[in-house]
Structure 1
Amino acid sequence: MSIYADRFKGQVAIVTGGASGVGREVAARLTQEGAKVVLWDMNADALADAKAATGAVDAVQLDVTDAEAVQAAADAVAAKLGRVDVLIASAGITGATVPVQEFPLDSWRRVIDINLNGLFYCCRAVIPHMLKNDYGRIVNVSSVAGKEGNPNASAYSASKAGVIGFTKSLGKELAKTGIRVNALTPATFKSPILEQLPQSQVDYMLSKIPAGRLGEVHEVAAMISWMASAECSFTTASTFDISGGRTTY
């Protein structure tokens, strides 16, 4: 149970990829801290379970690669709940785990479309609603792969590097407003996304973490919750590491 019971009281938060993993954990924490949380995810069955488990006020089956659907969903949240204060953009997939010369074109396009284009669509859709109140917090979930690159994960690494660059650009665009935009670069943590990877790839990523263990989703959620709060007031266009010592820059 979070000790910050009222940190998000009166605020409305959207969490993409909210049906599982870090998205679900963050949604639960934001709810505990007073937010009205709306979950966006493609998995309808998992969404229903996540809504009940997290206490979210709404759950919407949504493909973030559909720009028009994303805009309509953002507008619907603002119309129904009166505002949008927080966006946690955590929807993502790993894609194929093979060398570049063997990388399937459809997998490359799908990873970029979800991890980077979809994140762009979500940010683009919520910004006008945040500007109405001159307040907002956007947390874009990237990865250490976006800083260092993981072999045999070129699409994932490229998409997550794009998230970092996009976050820096957007954060600077909005720096003179009340909106703060930052990215998180986790190392490998325990999440259903690992089921998309061969064990050899998981072992490789674990070997790069000086702490010698995978991260826990509650640790990631704790950092995201601070990044999404009013306390994060003078940091924008930045990246925060949570990597067990893998990245220190």
Structure 2
Amino acid sequence: MRRGRTLIKGRIVIGSADTDFFLLFAHILTTDGYRVTLATTDGDVSSSATGSDIRAVLLDDQQRRFSAVQACRSITQNVASRNVATVAIVAAHANASHIELISAGVDEVFVRPFAPARLLDYLDRRRSLQKVLLRQSGVLMHSGVILDLDERTVTRSGVAVHLAPTEFALLACLMTRPNRVCSRIELLAAAWPGRRFVESATLNVHIGRLRKALNREGQGVIWTVRSIGYVFGSVCGGANAAGPAPGWEAGQP
């Protein structure tokens, strides 16, 4: 019975040079039904994160022995692993590391001490998100952006745009109703099914990443509607060449 459960949940790569860290989180994860693989260097992490059964990479941020930031960069820059969720565990008051990890594209950061249930809840939500995405199909096209729900690809002006699963889910939600407001509640439900422990600021961070990725190939297409939500489109709410309608803001959370 346990073996079948493990196969369903998949594998977690634990990136750490600390034996105690590995043993602790290996126990937590295997008890919940995951298999685990240890990677002790940045290169090992990147190469270990390419299997079809990999659900996430758990990074230990102890920069003297193992660089979670560099490992995260290696994962997000590798075509074969960039869609794998990255989770980092940092020490309290490690603000610099936290910022560097966000810049490197980490999906989630947990600050010590924290309840292991939060990590397991996050991993379960990621699995739920993948199931939701797999049930969707078709191609969405608007404002020069093409999102293929079957191939899980995004292009803008013919150039590939690489998105993590959370940003992909947010864009899919926004593009199903172009030039119309998607509320923050709708976006949270789309990207974090069965969400718990998800703060509004988390949505802001991921919308910021989505904007940055899309804006590399053109002008802004995601607009903020203050206190309500976001809109995808090149023309919002009756906006014209003079600018967007009152209450619409580009590039703001």
Q: TM-score, structure 2 length as denominator? A: 0.40
- Which structure shows the higher strand fraction? 2
* Rg comparison, structure with higher value: 2
- The normalised TM-score by structure 1 is 0.41
